[in-house]
Structure 1
Amino acid sequence: MDIRSLGPGGLSVSQLALGTMTFGMKDWGCDEDTAIALVHRYLDAGGNFLDTANAYGRSEEICGKAVRGHRSRVVLATKAGLPVGPGRHDRGSGRAHLRSACEGSLRRLGTDYIDVYWVHVDDEATPLEETVEALDELVREGKVRHVGASNFRAYRLMKALSVADRLGAARFVGLQGQYNLIVRTLEREHLPLLAEEGLGLVSWSPLAAGMLTGKITPGERPEGTRLGQREVAFDALVKNEHGFRVAGQVRKAAAEIGCTPAQLALAWQRTRPVTSVIIGARTLAQLDDNLASLDVTIPPDVLERLDEATRLPDEYPGTFIDIVQGWLRGTRPGVTA
């Protein structure tokens, strides 16, 4: 498994990260023994990047047990920001919550430091200056080594980077965002921003909550997938007419090249500017299937068809600006005054 740099510093992570939201999760997760076995199988395969969050129930506690004796091999990432209690300081990106959440995560993980501390979602009610300063304090105290953003609008991410530069504070090393063959909207604003600012992309939901496994069809709720067990508001981003059309294309292409739809969807990520892809599993068989995606090569003609079938629709101002840029560079036929 390839090891890549996340951000401009010395942080090195594997191209596949192991997401642990399923660990200890009721109804659609896995039990503690299975979760620990999943971590060890992933580490044996050459992975080093574990992703959890304080809002994932028992996940941090189980991760802590799983990496005991292996801590030096693991880049351990967790998140804070989603509600974990009824109080105002039990959520968000204010100083009070970030500090208390960090202490709680350190305790549950059984570690002295967190390698990557993600802001789980942008908190628009808290000034970015407060968030950036609080994260910088945690870095200076040695409790956190790197900080990152998750689920930020592009302009807010750029503003946070500017605030860090102005204050001389720790900068985000990357963005964790939903990116897959159904949801490619990060390509409009975020990917150019990440490239220009030197940040890495860690993609979550590469299988679109199971839509790209080939198991989900309209009107059915199959067992073994998150969408089959429960639905949350943002599942509408993938479980729609466009999502089912893309899933059908993926099933067809996977059959053509002789792999599973999930493996094809994960292999597609390697063709994109993604530093690390978060995979999730409830069983060893699911993990092995995901890991086998590293052996899948997508033929150029199949990749071209997938990209064409899933490309973003034209939009303003992006498409307009792209056309005019072509005129300015003389690479696209234009109009003359």
Structure 2
Amino acid sequence: MELCQLGRSGLYVSRFALGTMTFGMKDWGCDEETSIALVHRYLDAGGNFLDTADVYGSSEDIVGRALKGRRHRVVVATKAGLPVGRGPHDKGTGRLHLRRACENSLRRLQTDYLDLYQVHFDDPTTPIAETLDTLDDLVREGKVRYIGASNFQAYRLMKALATSDARGKERFVSLQGQYNLIVRTLEREHLPLLEEEGLGFIAWSPLAAGMLTGKISAGAEPEGTRLGQREVELDALVRNDRGFAIAAAVVKAATELGCTPAQLSLAWQSTRPVTATIIGARTMAQLEDNLAALTIAIPEEILAELDRLTGLPDEYPGAFLRTMHSWLRR
């Protein structure tokens, strides 16, 4: 599996990261034995990048057990910030919670350090400087190698980077965000920002919570998929008329190409400015299907049609500025 440099950092990660949110998750996840088998198969396939979070139930514990004797081969990424309890310091990115969360993740993962420690979301209740100071301390103490952001607005991410630079602190080396054929909004502001500032991009939900697997269509209940477990607000981003139309188009294109819709959707990620795409699996068959996407080359005509169907509509100020910039080049 191809290794890619994560932004301008010295960290190299595989093109597909293995997401572990399903590990030990009740109802729609997989048990520990299956989870460990998935990790070992992924590593055998050449993958080196595991993504988890403290809020994913028993995921960190299972990952820790799965990596016994293999820790040195793996880039371990975890996240903190979402609520893990009801107390005032059981959530957010303040100093007290982040330090406690980091120690707990190290214990559960049975490791002395985290390769990539990510804040799970932008916490508006905590000053960015406090969050960055805390993360910088964790790096200097050797508990964390690199830091990353997840689910940030573009202007807030830029503010965080500028704050790090001004204060001489560790800066984020990556952004993790939702990106797929249905949700491409990060292309407007985030992807140009990441390129300019030298951050890697880690895409989550590349199959839109199952919408792009070919198993879900308009009027069909998403049983046994992540979509059936999502909050209504998140559901609405993909389970709508536009989402169903794109899902149908992906099925049609995959049939023409001779692959599964999931494979086509994952192969599409490799044509975009994505450093690593997080794949998730509940069964070995799903993992094998996902890994097979690495061998698929999408013909230009299919790529062009997918882009026509899924590209973002023009908006202000983007469309206006593109016109102005074209005038400058005349």
* TM-score normalised to structure 1 length: 0.96
> Which amino acid letter does the alignment assign opposite residue 271 of structure 1?
T
Shift of 1:322: 1.1
Residue 302 (1) aligns with residue 305 (2): no
Shift in Å, 1:228: 3.7
> In 2, distance between residues paired with 1:10 and 1:51?
18
1:15-54 pair list within 5 angstroms = 15-54=15-54
What is the alpha-carbon distance in structure 2 between the residues aligned to residue 209 and residue 179 of structure 1?
Answer: 11
Match of 1:169, SS?
coil
Whether the 8 Å CA contact 1:221–1:227 is kept in 2: the answer is no
The answer for the alignment partner of 2:101 in structure 1 is 101
Amino acid in the other structure paired with 1:146: Y
Q: Return the alpha-carbon distance in structure 2 between the equivalents of residues 195 and 230 of structure 1.
A: 31
SS of the counterpart of 1:86? coil
Distance 1:301 1:130 in 2: 49
Matches of 1:85 and 1:201, distance apart in 2: 29
AA at the equivalent of 2:105? S
CA change 1:153–1:230 in 2 (3 A) is closer
Residue in 2 that maps onto 1:221: 221
8 A Cα contact 1:22 1:59, kept in partner: yes
Q: Distance in 2 between matches of 1:268 and 1:185?
A: 16
TM-score, length-scaled by structure 2: 0.99
Q: Distance in 1 between matches of 2:57 and 2:83?
A: 12
| 1:222 CA drift (Å) | 3.8
For 1:140, the equivalent position in structure 2 comes to 140
- Distance in 2, matches of 1:315 and 1:229, equals 32
Aligned residue for 2:96, secondary structure, equals helix
Shift of 1:217: 1.0
Residue of structure 2 in register with 1:325 after alignment:
325
Equivalent residue number for residue 208 of structure 1: 208
Could you list the structure 1 runs, at least 4 aligned residues long, displaced by more than 2 angstroms after superposition: 228-233
Whether 2:278 is the aligned partner of 1:260: answer no
Between the aligned partners of 2:34 and 2:314, the Cα distance in structure 1 is: 45
Offset from partner CA, 1:109-152 (integer Å, 9 cap, x none): 00000000000000011110001100000000000000000000
1:281 is matched by which residue type in structure 2?
A
Query: What is the CA RMSD across the aligned residues, in angstroms?
Result: 0.9
Q: Secondary structure at the match of 1:152?
A: coil
Provide the rounded CA distance (Å) in 2 between the counterparts of 1:230 and 1:209: 8
Q: Give 1:116-135 correspondences, 5 Å limit.
A: 116-135=116-135
Q: Report what 1:269 is aligned to.
A: 269
Unaligned runs of 5+ in 2: none
The answer to which of 318-327 and 38-47 deviates more is 318-327
The secondary structure found in structure 2 opposite 1:72 is: helix
Q: Secondary structure at the match of 2:135?
A: helix
Cα distance in 2 for partners of 1:49, 1:235 equals: 27
- What stretches of structure 1 of length at least 5 have no aligned partner? 331-337
Residues of 2 paired with 1:232 and 1:294: CA distance? 32
Alpha-carbon shift at residue 316 of structure 1 (Å)? 1.0
Asked whether the equivalents of residues 16 and 279 of structure 1 are also in contact (C-alpha less than 8 Å), the reply is yes
Report how many residues are paired: 330
Aligned-partner SS, 1:126: coil
SS of structure 2 residue aligned to 1:90: coil
Residue 188 of structure 1 corresponds to: 188
Q: How far, CA to CA, are the matches of 1:101 and 1:252 in structure 2?
A: 45
CA distance in 1, matches of 2:292, 2:223: 22
Q: Is the 8 A contact 1:99 1:134 kept in 2?
A: yes
CA deviation map 1:281-321 (0-9, x unaligned): 00000000000000111000010000111000111111111
Measure, in 2, the Cα distance between the counterparts of 1:246 and 1:217.
10
How far the C-alpha of 1:220 sits from its partner, in A, is 1.6
Distance 1:9 1:297 in 2: 28
Aligned residues with identical type, % of pairs: 70
